[in-house]
């Protein structure tokens, strides 16, 4: 079914080469088709765009730009066309030379939306909720600065899993399974799976292994009172919240999902093969 696009939003990382030229190219094209466009640019500093009434969003940059865009747009139900302005990312699969063709195929109804699970993290202190964050990739509890072992207690749907002594814990979505969690030895998951990954970072006990959990489960991680380091919650690698002893962080699937426009140029496994340099031979 053909899409009726009347207004677009462009979120652009201005630190990327040719960013301003690409914005000018896209806005000129949209104007020629009678489509209004609001542009929100950032250059390393957070922004808080006021977005209303948009039918589509362009995220111009890399995976980091898409993560920010997803957190901003998911609750508004706005689909994101992620355009990569560097090397291909795991989320940004459309090159800066393919955006127009991809956009036209989307409005003609030829491309599907990838509905990505997002994760909600709620910080509870002294029985009160003091912070809430949503992420597309992952939320991480770890120490500030140089890696130090921290102590955490982990429960799943009220069942105590155990106490973790580790550099931290990653709670990841399927989309984020190819990011920090993969570097920490976690499994790779198809991005549209309904699951959450719990992955300890360098645990003291080898029995603490990554767990893939159905997304309807609730994970509670308590910060033990006996700590030798300051502890933080990091959301999508972009937002940091300081935690205190006895804080509880509750993780569960968010009500909304990120809507990513799928390209027909390459699929998840082709990107995996390219990014991870799978060859099937002795150099794989």
Going from N- to C-terminal start, the domains of the chain cover 7-112+262-275, 119-254
- CATH number for 7-112+262-275 (one of 3.40.50.1820, 3.40.50.150, 3.40.50.300, 3.40.50.10330): it is 3.40.50.10330
pLDDT in tens, 263-276: 877 777 777 887 77
Whether residue 226 has pLDDT greater than 90: no
Task: Say which of 63, 138, 236, 247 is annotated catalytic.
Answer: 63
CA triple 79-182-206, angle to 5 deg: 140
Tokens 């580790």 found at = 166
Q: pTM of the predicted model, to two decimals?
A: 0.92
Decide: residue 179, CB within 10 A, 0-12 exposed, 13-18 middle, 19+ buried: buried
Read off the pLDDT of each residue in 220-234 and give the average, rounded to a whole number. Answer: 93
User: What is the spatial distance between Cα 154 and Cα 150, in angstroms, rounded to a whole number?
Assistant: 13
- The per-residue pLDDT of the chain, averaged, comes to 91
pLDDT in tens, 206-225: 777 899 999 999 999 999 99
Tokens 């496994």 found at = 269
User: What is the spatial distance between Cα 238 and Cα 230, in angstroms, rounded to a whole number?
Assistant: 18
To the query of whether residue 226 is one of the catalytic residues in this protein, the response is no
Q: Which CATH class is domain 119-254?
A: mainly beta
User: What is the spatial distance between Cα 122 and Cα 135, in angstroms, rounded to a whole number?
Assistant: 12
- Supply the pLDDT for residue 87: 67
Is the Cβ–Cβ distance between 249 and 220 less than 8 Å? Answer: yes
Read off the pLDDT of each residue in 230-236 and give the average, rounded to a whole number. Answer: 96
């Amino acid at each position: 079914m053909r899409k009726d696009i009347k207004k677009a939003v462009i979120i652009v990382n201005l630190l990327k080469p040719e960013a301003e030229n690409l914005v000018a190219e896209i806005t000129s094209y949209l104007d020629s088709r009678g489509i209004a466009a609001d542009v929100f640019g950032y250059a390393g500093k957070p922004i808080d765009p006021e977005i209303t009434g948009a039918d589509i969003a362009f995220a111009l940059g890399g995976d980091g730009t898409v993560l920010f865009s997803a957190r901003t747009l998911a609750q508004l139900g706005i689909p994101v066309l992620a355009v990569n302005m560097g090397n291909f990312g795991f989320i940004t699969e459309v090159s800066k030379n393919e955006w127009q063709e991809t956009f036209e195929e989307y409005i003609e109804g030829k491309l599907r939306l990838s509905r990505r699970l997002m994760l909600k993290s709620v910080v509870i202190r002294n029985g009160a909720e003091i912070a809430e964050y949503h992420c597309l990739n992952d939320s991480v509890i770890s120490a500030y600065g140089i890696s130090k072992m921290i102590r955490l207690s982990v429960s799943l749907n009220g069942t105590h899993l155990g106490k973790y002594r580790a550099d931290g814990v990653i709670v990841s979505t399927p989309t984020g399974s190819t990011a920090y969690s993969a570097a920490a030895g976690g499994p790779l998951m198809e991005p549209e799976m309904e699951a959450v990954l719990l992955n300890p970072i360098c645990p003291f006990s080898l029995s603490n292994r990554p767990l893939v959990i159905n997304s309807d489960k609730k994970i509670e991680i308590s910060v033990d009172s006996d700590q030798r380091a300051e502890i933080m919650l990091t959301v999508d690698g972009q937002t940091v919240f300081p935690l205190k002893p006895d804080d509880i962080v509750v993780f569960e699937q968010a009500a909304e999902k990120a809507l990513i426009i799928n390209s027909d140029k390459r699929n998840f496994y082709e990107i995996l093969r390219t990014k991870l340099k799978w060859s099937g031979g002795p150099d794989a």
